[in-house]
Amino acid sequence: MQGGRIMLLREEKLNRIYECEDTLEGILTGIYQAWDASYGHAYIHLTVPAAGESESMLLFSEYHTVVPDAKQAQKVIQTIRKKTSEKVCEKLLGALYSTNPEKADAVYHVLPEAFRMGWRVIGNLADPYMQAVFEMNRAVRNEAHEYLGFLRFEEQKNGVLLARFSPKNDLLELVAPHFADRFPGENFVIYDTGRKKAAFHQQNGPLVIRGLFEEELACFFQISPKEAQFQAMWRLFFETVAIEERTNKELQRNFMPYRYRTYMTEMH
Amino acid sequence: MAVIYQQNMSLEEKLRILSDAAKYDVACTSSGVDRAGGAGMAGNSVAVGICHSFGADGRCISLLKILFTNECIYDCKYCINRSSNDIVRTAFTPEEVCTLTMEFYRRNYIEGLFLSSGIMHSPNVTMERIVKTLRMLRETYRFNGYIHCKAIPGADESLVEMAGWYADRMSVNLELPTAEGLRQLAPHKNRKNILQPMRKIQNGIEESRELLGACGGNKGSYWHTRRKLEGKTELQKQEEDAALFARDRGKIRGLNPHILTGVSPEGAGRSMSGVQQKDAVPKADFWGTGLPDEDLLMPSAQGGLAEADGYGDTSCRIWKESASAAEGRYGIHAGHETLSCRTARGFVPAGQSTQMIIGATPETDFEVMSVAEALYQKFDLKRVFYSAFVRVNDDASLPVLPGGPPLLREHRMYQADWLLRYYGFAAGEILTRERPNFNVLLDPKCNWAIGHLEMFPVEVNQADYFKLLRVPGLGPKSARRIVEARKSAVLDFRDLKKLGVVLKRALYFITCSGRMLYSTKLEEDYIVQHLLDASEKLPAHLSEDHFTYRQMSLFDVGGMLENG
Ligand code: SF4
C-alpha cells in the first residue's frame, strides 16, 4: 500500500539523474546543468557511474548524460568562491576527489544552504549533506598529505623518476603539483595503478595528467644501475635509526597503515 | 682511549655507523618553514611538516639524521660516541653527505638533512666541516629542502652564524636539565658554552626578522600564546620585543652586517684554517663573572626564575672583540672567493630547538619543566624536546632503569610542554616545589584541574578562551570553535559534542546555561575516580600490555608517591 502511494507521488514528477564523468570538470558541469534546469533540488540527483558500469536504472527517473564543459565548470567554481569563501570552496572541491560515489550529489545539495549562509556555512554541521561533504574533504586531504611523505620514486634507466601508488581517493591532481614544485629539474611520473592514469612532469615543463597507455607502462620498471644501491642504503638507514629499546610496531602501524606500504621501498 | 679509524670504508658502512650514532637525537621534525621551490633548485619546504616514514619504534622519519663523524674528543658518560668507548670511528666527506641527501631527497625518502656531529679535533674544526657541507649542499648541489644542523658548543661565533644562513633550523642541545647534571655526566661541557650559541642564534633570528620581514621566520607557539594571553596584537608585542632587543643589541651581536649587505669585509678570502690554528675562542674566563650559569635557567631560591640572565657588560665587551677578530674569516671555503650568502632564505627561519635527556640525572619534573619554560621565555625556542634516557654505556655514574627508558615520564613532559606552548599554563601551575613530579595516573591538565576545583564549573557560554582551554576535554580547536559558535547561538551539551569536546572528561567541569550535564559532585575523589574510569587514551607505546609500572624509573615512582 505504502509503496503504491510513493509511486503515485513520484509519477507526478520524475526524479532527474545527472550522470557525470568522474572528474572535477565533469561533476561541476553536472552541477551547472542541474542547477540551470530549475527543476527543484529535491528531485535532482548527481551520480558518477564508474566506466563501463551500467547502473541499475531506477524507476520513474529520467537520465541525463553530462558532457564535461570547461566553461560551465569554471563558472560554478567562480560562483561558489564569490558567494561563500575561498575556504568553503576548497572544501567542496576537495570532496569531489573522494572515492565516495555520493560525492557529486552531496556537493550539489550543499549549495543552496551554502549560498544562503555564505562563509558561515562552515559551522553548519547540523546539515547532513554538509557533514558528508566535510568528511569526504577531510579524508581526501588527509590521504593526500600522507602520500606527500609516503610516495617513493624509483630512478629508471632513462633517468625518469617513477612513483606508483594506489590511493583510495583520486589524488593525482592534489599530490602532483607538490612534486612539480619540489623537483622542477626532474622528469618524473606519478602513476595511480588503480585508476590507470598518471601525472607526467618534464624538466622545467608543465604537469600533465592523463590515462596511461600499455606501451608506456612497458618501458617503465627498468631501474637505473644506481637505484638498487640507494634503495639498499635507505633500507639500511630506516632500520638503523629505530631505537631498539623503544620498539613499538603498533605505534608504527597507527601512523603508517599497511595500505600505504605497498610501494614503500623500506617495507620490502 | 682506543680509536679504530678505518680508511676506505664504504659509503654504506659509514651510513650505518653514523646514522646509528645519531638516532638518539629526537628532534626529527621538518616543520616550521614554508618555502616554494625554484627553477634550477631542488626542493621546497612545507610548514606543517611531512613524515616520510615511521620506524619500528613508531617515531616519524622525515630527515636524513646522521652525524658528520662519530669521532669525539669529549667523554660524555651517556653517549655512545664518547672518547673512552672502544668503537669504530669514521667520518663522512662533505660530498658524501651531499650525495646521500640529494639522492634520498629526489626519491622522496626524506624532507631534508639533520646534521649533527661528534667533536673532531676541536669545536671549530667540527663546526667548519658542518658549514662546509651545508654550503656545498646549498650552493653547489642547489638543495632547497629542509636542513637542521647543530651548533657545536664552543665553536667560533662566525662559524655558527655561517651555518645559520644555510640551515632552516639549528639546535644546541642542553643535554641535561641542570648545570650540576652536566658536570657529572658531560664534564667537558658547561652551561655557558651551550647557552652562548643559543643566544647568538636567537639574536641573529631577531635581526634577520627585522631586516627581512616575513621570510626571516615566524615566532614560536609559546610567543603567540603569551601574546594572546596578554591581549596584545602581533604588532604591539613585536614592538615591545624590539624595544627590549634594541637595549640588548649592543651586547650580543646577532649577524655580521657584511653578510647581509653582501659586501665582504677587509681581508675576506682568507682560508678557514686560520681559525683552526688560532682557535680564537677565549677559554676559561671568556665570560668573566658576567654569567652565573647555575642560575640562568633554574628556579631561584625564592621560587621564581632568576631574572638576570647574566649577559652583562663584561660579556658585551668580549663579544665585540671576538666579533672583530672573526671579521676576517669569511672566505670560508679554501678558495679566494669572497663570501656572499643568499640571505633570501633568512637566518635560521624555522627557529631553534633543543633537547634534554630525561632520567639520567635525578632532577624533578618540576625542575625540567621550569627549565623548558625559561628556554621558551628567554631564548625564544621553537621546541624543547625530551628524550627518555637509554643506557647505552655501562657506566657507574649512570642510573640503571630496570623498566627501560622512562617513556611515560617523557610522555607527560610532552603533554606539559604542550600546556606551556598552547594553553598558557606556567610551569609553576602544572607542578610545584611541593608536588614536583607528574601524576602517573592523570595527565597534567586533569591533574591541575582536580587540584583547582575552586575554578570550576566553567560556563561554556561565557568563559573566555583561555578559561575554556583549562577545562579537561577541551583543546585549542574546540575552544576556538566554541567561542565562534556561541556568537550566533546559545550552546548546549549536544552542540559541544559536535564541536569536538570530549564530554566524558569535560562534564565534571562545565555548565551550559547554568546546568551541568548530570548532577555530579565537584569533589576531588569523586572526579578522579570517574576520570580514571573514563581512562586516558595513552599512545600505543604506553598503553600496550608491555607497559607496566615496573617500567617507571625510580624517579617516576617517587612522583607516584608524591602525587598519588
Ligand atoms: S660531545 Fe658528548 S654527546 Fe656529543 S658526541 Fe661527543 S661524547 Fe657524545
Residue A245's alpha-carbon distances to B29, B497, B527, in angstroms, are: 21, 39, 36
Closest ligand 1 atom to Cα of B75: 7
Q: What pLDDT sits at residue B256?
A: 61
Q: Give the integer Cα–Cα distance in Å for A151 and B72.
A: 37
Nearest to B530 by CA among B512, B547, B506: B506
Confidence at residue B137, expressed as pLDDT on a 0 to 100 scale = 95
Partners of A242 on chain B (C-beta within 8 Å) are 23, 55-57, 59
Of the candidates A122, A56, A54, A125, which has an alpha carbon nearest to the alpha carbon of residue A92?
A: A122
- Report how far residue B413's alpha carbon sits from residue B387's, in angstroms, rounded to the nearest whole number: 10
Residues 6+ apart with CB under 8 A from B156: B123, B124, B127, B275, B280, B281, B322, B326, B329
CA distance A137 to A106: 11
Q: Tell me the residue ranges of DSSP E strands in B359-486.
A: 383-388, 458-459
> Which residue minimizes the CA distance to atom 4 of ligand 1?
B118
Decide if pLDDT at A235 tops 50: yes
User: For residue B170, what is the enclosing H or E element?
Assistant: strand B169-171
Determine, for residues A154 and B107 on separate chains, whether the beta-carbon distance falls below 8 Å.
Answer: yes
Q: Which of residues 189-228 of A touch B (CB under 8 A)?
A: 204, 226
CA distance linking residue B415 with residue A35, whole number of Å? 50
Residue with cell 677559554: B283
* Phi, psi (degrees; rounded to nearest 5) at B521: -90, 140
As a whole number of angstroms, the longest Cα–Cα distance in chain A is: 73
Residue from the list B16, B23, B57 with its beta carbon closest to the beta carbon of A248: B57
In degrees and rounded to multiples of 5, residue B546 shows phi and psi of: -70, -10
What value does the mean pLDDT of chain A take?
Answer: 88
Q: Do A266 and B62 touch (CB under 8 A)?
A: no
Indicate yes or no: CB of A247 within 8 angstroms of CB of B56. yes
Closest ligand 1 atom, CA of B67?
5
Residues 6+ apart with CB under 8 A from B218: none
pLDDT tops 60 at residue A137: yes
Order of strands, sheet of A15-19, starting from the edge strand that comes earlier in the sequence: A44-47, A15-19, A61-65
**In this predicted structure, what is the pLDDT of residue A83?**
92
Contact A230 B104 (CB under 8 A): yes
How far is ligand 1, taken at its centre, from the CA of residue B382, in Å?
Answer: 23
Identify the band that residue B550 occupies on the pLDDT scale cut at 50, 70 and 90.
Answer: very low
Q: Which of A237, A44, A40 shows the shortest CA–CA distance to B21?
A: A237
| A225-239, B112-126, B231-245, B247-261: the lowest-pLDDT one | B247-261
How many Å apart are CA B214 and CA A140, to the nearest integer? 31
- Decide if pLDDT at B311 tops 50: no
Summarize the confidence of residues B418-426 as an average pLDDT. Answer: 93
A125 in B contact zone (CB under 8 Å): yes
Q: pLDDT, tens digit, for every residue of B377-400?
A: 989 899 999 989 989 899 999 999
| 3-class DSSP state of B109 | coil
In terms of Cβ atoms closer than 10 Å to its own Cβ (0-12, 13-18, 19+), residue B548 is exposed
Q: B56 and A161: CB-CB below 8 Å?
A: no
Residues within 6 Å of ligand 1 by CB: B 72, 74, 76, 79, 81-82, 118-119, 186
**CA angle B521-B523-B528, nearest 5°?**
100
CA-wise closest residue to B300 among B392, B375, B371, B220: B371
Chain-centroid distance of CA B63 in Å reads 16
pLDDT higher than threshold 70 for residue A222: yes
User: What pLDDT does A46 receive?
Assistant: 93
Residue ranges of A 36-75 with Cβ closer than 8 A to chain B: none
Q: How many CB atoms are located within 10 Å of the residue B436 CB?
A: 20
Mutation for B interface: A248, A249, A250, A260, most B CBs within 10 A: A248
Q: Looking at chain B, which residue has its C-alpha nearest residue A236?
A: B16
Strand partners, B64: B113
* pLDDT score for B546: 36
Per CB-CB distance under 8 Å, the chain B contacts of A187 are none
Average pLDDT over residues B335-343: 44
The answer to whether residue B426 scores a pLDDT higher than 70 is: yes
- Cell numbers at residue B140, please? 653547489
Task: Tell me what ipTM this predicted complex has.
Answer: 0.89
CB atoms near residue B550 (< 10 Å): 9
Say how many residues make up chain A.
268
Count of A-B CB contacts under 8 Å: 158
Q: Is the pLDDT of residue B166 over 90?
A: yes
**B561 pLDDT tier (thresholds 50, 70, 90):** very low
Residues in B closer than 8 angstroms to A248, CB to CB, are: 56-58, 540-541, 544
Closest partner residue to A233 (CB to CB) among B15, B23, B61 is B15
Beta strand B88-89 with B112-116: parallel, antiparallel or unpaired? unpaired
Q: What is the pLDDT of residue B284?
A: 31
Which residue, chain included where needed, has cell 621558551?
B376
Burial of A126 (0-12, 13-18, 19+ CB in 10 A): exposed
Quick one: average pLDDT of A99-112? 94
Q: How confident is the model at residue B318 (pLDDT cuts 50, 70, 90)?
A: very low
Say if strands A197-201 and A207-211 run parallel, antiparallel, or are unpaired. Answer: antiparallel
Q: What is the mean pLDDT of residues B139-146?
A: 92
Higher pLDDT, B312 or B552: B552
**Rounded-to-integer distance, Cα A31 and Cα A48, Å:** 12
pLDDT tier at A61, thresholds 50, 70, 90: confident
Question: Which of B1, B18, B23, B72 gets mutated to test ligand 1 (max ligand atoms within 8 A of its CB)?
Answer: B72
Shortest alpha-carbon distance between residue A98 and chain B (Å): 22
Residue type, B97: V
Instruction: Compute the distance between CA of residue A159 and CA of residue A226 in angstroms, rounded to an integer.
Output: 10
The torsion angles phi and psi of A54, rounded to 5 degrees, stand at -95, 110
Residue B93 Cα to chain centre, angstroms: 27
Q: Which atom of ligand 1 is nearest to the CA of B186?
A: 2
| Residue B542: per-residue pLDDT | 56
Q: What angle do CA B132, B138, B144 make, to 5 degrees?
A: 150
Residues of chain B found within 8 Å of residue A238, distances taken between Cβ atoms: 53, 55, 61
> Is the CB of A154 inside 8 Å of chain B's CB atoms?
yes
Would the pLDDT of B520 be above 50?
yes
pLDDT category of residue B280 using cuts at 50, 70 and 90: very low
Ligand 1 pocket: which of B119, B175, B355, B398 to mutate (most atoms <8 Å of CB)? B119
Give residue B325's pLDDT: 34
- pLDDT confidence band for B405 (50 / 70 / 90): confident
- Judged by DSSP in three states, B126 sits in helix
Cα–Cα nearest to A68, from A19, A17, A137 = A19
At residue B6, the pLDDT reads: 59
| pLDDT value of position B303 | 32
Q: Which residue has the higher pLDDT, B329 or B425?
A: B425
Candidates A148, A238, A246, A265: best to mutate against B (most CBs of B within 10 A) is: A246
For B73, B205, B207, the CA distances from B200, given in Å and listed in that order, are 24, 9, 11
Cα B34 to Cα B44: distance, rounded to the nearest angstrom:
8
Most confident among A5-9, A26-30, B265-269 (mean pLDDT) = A26-30
Sign of CA dihedral B362, B366, B370, B376: positive
A251 and B22 in contact by Cβ < 8 A?
no
What tens digit of pLDDT does each residue of B2-54 get?
455 556 789 999 999 999 988 877 655 656 567 777 777 777 787 778 899 99
Could you give the angle at which helices B123-135 and B94-106 cross, rounded to 10 degrees?
Answer: 40
- The angle formed by the CA atoms of residues B451, B455 and B457, to the nearest 5 degrees, is 110
* pTM for the whole structure: 0.81
User: Sorting pLDDT into bands at 50, 70 and 90, what band is B310?
Assistant: very low
Q: Which of B66, B67, B79, B116 to mutate to test the pocket of ligand 1 (most atoms within 8 A of CB)?
A: B79
Instruction: Please report, for chain B, the start and end positions of each structural domain, with discontinuous segments joined by +.
Output: 11-355
For B157: left if phi > 0, alpha if psi spans -120 to 50, otherwise beta; the answer is alpha
For ligand 1, atom 1: residue with the closest CA: B74
**If you average pLDDT over residues B232-248, what whole number do you get?**
79
Whether the predicted pLDDT of B322 surpasses 60: no
Three cell numbers, residue B87: 668503537
Burial of residue B481 (CB within 10 Å: 0-12, 13-18, 19+) is buried
Q: Identify which has the larger pLDDT, B342 or B555.
A: B342
pLDDT recorded at residue B87: 92
Backbone φ and ψ for B548, nearest 5 degrees, come out as -135, 170
Checking if the pLDDT of B462 tops 90, the result is: yes
C-alpha of residue B363 to centroid of ligand 1, in Å: 21
Closest ligand 1 atom to B117 CA: 5
Q: What is the mean pLDDT of residues B355-376?
A: 93
pLDDT computed for residue B250 by the predictor: 53
Quote the pLDDT of residue B5: 58
Cα separation, B107 vs B110, in Å, equals: 8
- How high is the mean pLDDT of chain B? 77
CA–CA separation, A93 vs B529, rounded Å? 46
Measure Cα distances from B496 to B81, B84, B428 in Å: 52, 59, 30
